[in-house]
Structure 1
Amino acid sequence: MLEVGQILQTRYQLKENLGQNAGRQTWLAEDLTTQPRENVIVKLLTFGDQVQWESLRLFEREAEILKQLDHPRIPKYRDYFSIDDRILWFGLVQDYIPGSSLRELLNRRQKFSEKQIRHIATEILNILIYLHEINPSVLHRDIKPSNLILGEDKRVYLVDFGAVQDRSISERATFTVIGTYGYAPMEQFGGRAVPASDLYALGASLIHLLTGVPPADLPQRKMRIQFSDRVTIDPYLIKWIETLTDPDVEERFSTARQALQALDTPQNPKTYLPVHKPQNSRIQIKKSLHQLNIKLPKRGLRVLDFVGLILGFVASSLFASLFIAGLFGIGSGLSVLVWLVGSSLSLGYLIAPLTETNINIQRDSFAITWSIFGKRYRQLQGKTLDIHNVYVYIYQSKGGENSSEIMKIIIAAGEDKYKFGDFDFKTGEPECLWVVQEMKDWLGLR
């Protein structure tokens, strides 16, 4: 039985039992061979009825991989030994990081600001870039607040490599499913961990820090963790975390380097050039953390509208003539066709100038509504999470030398495209681009 004060390997004096479960113990110890004496972490595994060969294999693999790692934010490997004192113990020794785990800080009800979240994310992503890009790459597979240490130097450390996976081994053999429910993605529980699996765990950990609620206890929709209604942070950061925790591994950032670049993008003035609201614009945009509302006022009649109205009037007049002729048995069917064409032309060119368009985007869904004098006559709806792009499309109207270019805004959501707006290319381009940028900024789209 291990106890405080006991010396292992004539070198490590046990000071405090930091935790234990079936067959495992973690101790804070002192290395008696160093001057001055240094604190170390001693992880112990007893091989017996409660510990199987698989647990021992994972323990030995942790030691072997830690030997190969050299990163300032990963505790350094010091020693590996076994003790055969009636009960066979295996020990792993590594550097002690003074500080507190993020889980401990959560238990103290500490609140994490957006600045702190960005700092933590950046620190861990830099560690993951190192782990994933060495050869062979290493997957941690158990990123969570209890394995993230905020050191006294205010740097973030990644600890506990007990679930670590060497991809060169995993690609040719099966392995025990490891991970913590709520933080590990589905593909990891299916035995197919990839670098994006660690990114998911990082995102789930950030959600825990932001909300104070373990991700497993938060509601889900189509396997997506729902958290945006509980936080007050930059919508871009929300979208970035949602990308990290996308249940579909192919929809996440594929690498830690890509995720870090995306996190830094809004703060890079070379790649982020804001478009301001044009003077005299009548477009109204209201936004909050939970919704974005854009109101496009009626645009009024254009020259092309007058042309359409005249054509519609001529067609309707022709209908009247044909209808009268139809009374005498001449082409009544043709008269109805001409009337339909004329009416459509007239209504189309009359409705468009008088239409107000309202775009309302909330965290879960969005709607585009067209109305005249406050009366809705058309509406399209979709899911906000499906939106992957917002862009401008230019339509060339027919009319020979008098043709004009019209700009419309398109929301690409899933496989559907939602069109709205009617901006004249010559005069409405600044407004159109401004609206697109406001939407992309709020949605967190680059």
Structure 2
Amino acid sequence: MKKYHALVAAVGIAVLSAGAYWYQREPIRPASEGRSDATAHGPTSAPRPAGAGAPAGGAGARGPVAVEMAPVQTAILSEAAQAVGSLRSRQGVMLRPEVSGRVIALGFRDGQPVRKGQVLVQLDDTLAAAQVRQAQAQLSIARANHERNRELLAQNFVSQAAVDQTAATLQVAEAQLAVARATQERLRIVAPFDGVAGIREVNVGDYVGPGTDLVNLEDVSSLYVDFRLPERYLPQLQVGQRSQVSLDALPGRRFEARIEALSPQVDAQGRSVLIRAVLNNREGALRPGMFARVDTLLSSKTDALVVPEEALVPQGGKQYVIKAVKAEGAEGASWTSQRREVSIGLRRAGQVEILQGLDRGDMVVVAGHQRIQRDGTPLRPVQIGERGSSAASAPSAAGGTRDAQRGTAAPATSGTKVAARN
């Protein structure tokens, strides 16, 4: 049995060795011969030219680069500085008595307008009024004595010294009457200017001492807005400059203010300057103490050259753009690329100001910069929004070439011409 197994194994090894030897002697057929056999029964196609399968957005022999363009336009650009501040009344005061006394009358209503000189708080002046009458009586006696002595002096019945003494007594009596009247006047708290009375702090019958808060008075016909700006803006600030004020309490509304004063001193800690602007409050919608956002107009340009921010190509600390130059009379692409260094200014809402390097009406590339390797690259402008379909243009171009090889005319790219004109 063991001999039988050994014989079968030897025969199998011999068969495998013979198969391996025959396979090694079989010649390897070339790939071109295989392709000719595969296409022997199929249609014969012309050889595809070099670059036919390349994307349409390539450069050089691959065709013009598909890019988006935008013209250099003019716009009104304004440079403004933003700050926050607080509203203050043009005139505001907290009324306080200079002497002590008891409140016997209030001459105003809370929150109501008052006139200059109107009595707002009356303190008890009974004693002061009595002192005024006493001073008036003493003054009357002193005046009478002085007049009598003057008459006697004319008749040589009294000396000049007696007349001088009565004259001094008369002056003292006049001074005492003035003091009594001033003391009585201090018991009457009057409005120093036209304004609006606040909420009273005292009631009738309250006893108040010197310096006690009675009521605040605010002149809100016009308001101040105080804010600070960095010191670098000082050369661009001046009295009379316009500002726009917006308030969180009144969303959607803007008020015009005018700079009235600049502080002569710069804050050494914050390096900022205090600015005071005045704004009208005819409607009475504004109140002192409100939080305000202030936009101060520093400069304005009515014919600034602007391009989309996407057109900028920063490199090495400089800013460049790809200018599209129209090649008149050239065959193929009618636009070529030209790299330009530009100087930029203000940036506003997706646009950037061009100070140097471009002129009004120039066309610049805003998308597709990465496929432009050198100046003079042919460009094919596409409309905004077609950028996503430009990737699919490569298969279409390749398909169009194959159709041409089969004798089918490819459709004309009239859309490219329309985009170039626009």
Rg comparison, structure with higher value = 2
- Assess same fold via TM > 0.5: no
TM-score, normalised via structure 1 length: 0.18
Considering Cα pairs closer than 8 Å and 6+ residues apart, tell me whether 1 or 2 has the greater RCO: 2
TM-score, normalised via structure 2 length: 0.19
